[in-house]
Structure 1
Amino acid sequence: SLSPDQSIAHGAALYAGMLQANRQQAKSVYDRRVSERLRRVQQRSVSARSLGILVRDEQTGRRVPHYLIGANSPLPASVTSVFGTVVPNQRKVHVRIVESGAGSDRPPTVLGDCTVSGLPADLPEGSEIEVTLSYDHQARVHVTAREPLSGVLAEVEILRADNLQRGVVPEESRVAAAEPVAELKSVSATGAAVELGAAPKPEPKPEPKPEPKP
């Protein structure tokens, strides 16, 4: 195995060789077999961390990350998932976009927000909201949140750059919802609201019938 410094140096040398493989100067330096192998190497961009949104866990009342695009996914990537409103007659939805922390023990990092206002009146609890997250080669995150019946939607583009200051999800956001009327919760494939992390409720057992007396 290589140390991190050696891995970076070897990777940089290999990448430089890939870039130079088709140039005349490189052909005069590299062995022909080396040039052929370098030309066959392909570069592929992948996501460094998981990308998702915060949803409310109905069992605990906390906001928890729900990741749509996993770490090491090939880029560009785009995923659409359906979530549900949390109260009847919810008139807006606040979508907070997060990425996974630097380690499994680190909290998610906030990248930005997308708010859908003007939802139709009298929507029942659990009404569907379609959220689409897209990740392109230029480290831009595209977010679309849409109420499918009315077509009301909001879109936002987030420039994700390592040199931008990004906020960690505050403890109060992880413990309790700051805006209970503007959240989303996870929904099942059938569209029914489900509780994140909740175990399925067991089917009620029929009561035994008394045996007839002789």
Structure 2
Amino acid sequence: MEIQPGQTVGIDLGTTYSAIAQLDPEGNPQAVENADGSTITPSVVILSEEGKVIVGPTYERMSIENPRNIVEAIKRQMGNKDYFVVYQDKKLTPEFLSALIIKKLKQDAEKSIGPIANAVITVPYYFNDVRRKATQDAGKIAGLNVIDIINEPTAATLAYAWQKGHLGRPDAFEGERTIMVYDLGGGTFDVTVVRYTATSFKVLATDGDVMLGGLDWSRRVVDHIAEEFHTKYDLDPREDPETLMQLTQECEQAKRDLSERAQIPISAYYKGKNVTIALTRGDFERLTGDLMQRTRDTTELVMQQAGVGKGELDELVLVGGSTYMPVVETMLRDVTGLEPSRDVSPEEAVSQGAAIHAALLEARATGGDSRLGKAVINRLRSVTATDVNSHSLGVKISDPQDKTRKINHIMIPKNTSLPVEVKQRFKTNKENQQRVHVCILEGDATDPDACTTIGDFRIVNLPPNLPSGSPVEISYSYDKNGRFSATAVELTGNTAAKTEIVRDSGLTNENVDAFQTLAGDYQVE
């Protein structure tokens, strides 16, 4: 990893809001304000018909725009090779659209902190390798040197432990703490249990859902109002994009208001008809009860995998704007026996943790930044971290009970501490086999088709007349930087082959360069 001249920051690239932060000279992670004076920027892109690209528009600005020109929740499409938006006769991928959001964050922040060169960008823990590559590409397209990708709950833990004065301070903090980070954002959900001391922190277990967040709560309200409207008038307001956008904004606001109030009126207007429905907090919680139950199930599973029971956590930290819903606190009190903590800003903690991680990498790579005080640099250098893999890694093999069927044999289970190396022996399937195909899978399912293939390679030129059942040793190695390698050796003739998968680029270098040039052509407002 090479640090380039310029400022180094942390970026929280969120589904509904994004943020950028930097460690100040005294070691305090500070969210950097955008051009509107806010520390969070809506992750919304307007590709206007006049050729303007507007990132982070207000609701008022969105309301006067054709909904077909508005791109929202692009994070949910990261890694989806089939998704694109056509604008000015060009196909814009999720990486490019995300790069426009990053470009806006960078452009606004540079007005107060100067030219930005390096960044750590956050991802949900449960992002697979394809989505992580797409995020890294988005940063590159925006003109940044992406020095690392960090998991969002890990970043939030860093922010919590650092701002508590625990991390990097063995003189002031003894012993260890086990905390849980419950992160419910606009579009993704993670829950993670971490154990840390003054000089180290270790992820014990993590799980989540990249398709669960505040957007889903809002959509339930939209559907409820639309169905009431349909019952009354036999018309569906969701059929019209402008009406749907207006109703969605109203329901989003109602969801927020219900965190403070017991009841809120919601109105829908369509084709000269209207309904006004009084939605109570109880109604809202009933409509979305199964969504909350999904987060509860995940929370209980992670606690079980981490080996901590009710009442055994030292702290429960809430992250993400959707944790303001009162039912979140009620559920978590019941599951953990703890009063949830808001000692870090739910909206800013992730970007602040990314900023700490960025400063830590910078301090190690450059011997310290003159911007930061010596005490801060020493504090950063004293911290070590142990992460875990969020997805199981397996190999496609023939089912021992049914040779005609292929299964995913897990080599490295999820929540395994990194780095790790695993070796296992397998057998050839037939007489005089000429080659062995090693297919690397990411996922927990037994069915290979339900997993993601992240790489494959072959051992060729096996010895002649090789008997069926000859031994083949496969080795998987996964380092703490996300670099994964696999080796296979046919042991009779000692023939070997290997592959290495580096989270380098989902797009080709030519694609990234072309998109970088295109991003330079768009003036982001």
**Fold match (TM-score > 0.5):** yes
Q: Does 1:47 align with 2:193?
A: no
Whether the 8 Å CA contact 2:386–2:480 is kept in 1: the answer is no
Q: Report what 2:440 is aligned to.
A: 97
Paired with 1:45 and 1:92, the residues of 2 have a C-alpha distance of 36
Alignment of 1:109-128 (within 5 A): 109-128=452-471
Q: 1:90 to 1:18 in 2, by over 3 A?
A: farther
RMSD after superposition: 3.4
CA deviation string 1:161-187 (max 9, x = no partner): 7x738xxxxxxxxxxxxxxxxxxxxxx
Q: Give 1:14 shift.
A: 2.1
Q: Give 1:34 shift.
A: 5.0
Whether the 8 Å CA contact 1:18–1:39 is kept in 2: the answer is no
Query: Where does structure 1 lack aligned partners over 5 or more consecutive residues?
Result: 166-214
Q: Give 1:146 shift.
A: 0.4
Q: Report what 1:11 is aligned to.
A: 157
Q: 1:39 to 1:110 in 2, by over 3 A?
A: same
Q: SS at 1:39's partner residue?
A: coil
Paired with 2:480 and 2:165, the residues of 1 have a C-alpha distance of 18
Paired with 2:164 and 2:462, the residues of 1 have a C-alpha distance of 51
Paired with 2:506 and 2:443, the residues of 1 have a C-alpha distance of 16
Q: Report what 1:164 is aligned to.
A: 506
Query: Where does structure 2 lack aligned partners over 5 or more consecutive residues?
Result: 1-123, 125-151, 177-196, 202-384, 508-525
The counterpart of 2:406, out of the listed 59, 63, 74, is 63
Whether the 8 Å CA contact 2:423–2:473 is kept in 1: the answer is yes
Q: Report what 1:139 is aligned to.
A: 482
Whether the 8 Å CA contact 2:389–2:418 is kept in 1: the answer is yes
Whether the 8 Å CA contact 1:84–1:127 is kept in 2: the answer is yes
Q: SS at 1:164's partner residue?
A: coil
Paired with 1:13 and 1:67, the residues of 2 have a C-alpha distance of 34
Q: Does 1:88 align with 2:431?
A: yes
Whether the 8 Å CA contact 2:410–2:444 is kept in 1: the answer is no
- TM normalised by structure 2 equals 0.26
CA deviation string 1:19-72 (max 9, x = no partner): 98448xxx9xxxx74588661542311111111100012516221100111111
Q: Give 1:114 shift.
A: 1.6
- TM normalised by structure 1 equals 0.59
Q: SS at 2:160's partner residue?
A: helix
Paired with 1:144 and 1:34, the residues of 2 have a C-alpha distance of 43
Paired with 1:130 and 1:81, the residues of 2 have a C-alpha distance of 6
Q: Which runs of 4+ in 1 moved over 6 A?
A: none
Q: Give 1:139 shift.
A: 1.0
Paired with 1:99 and 1:78, the residues of 2 have a C-alpha distance of 16
The counterpart of 2:495, out of the listed 152, 157, 161, is 152
Q: SS at 2:159's partner residue?
A: helix
Q: Give 1:17 shift.
A: 3.9
Paired with 1:18 and 1:145, the residues of 2 have a C-alpha distance of 47
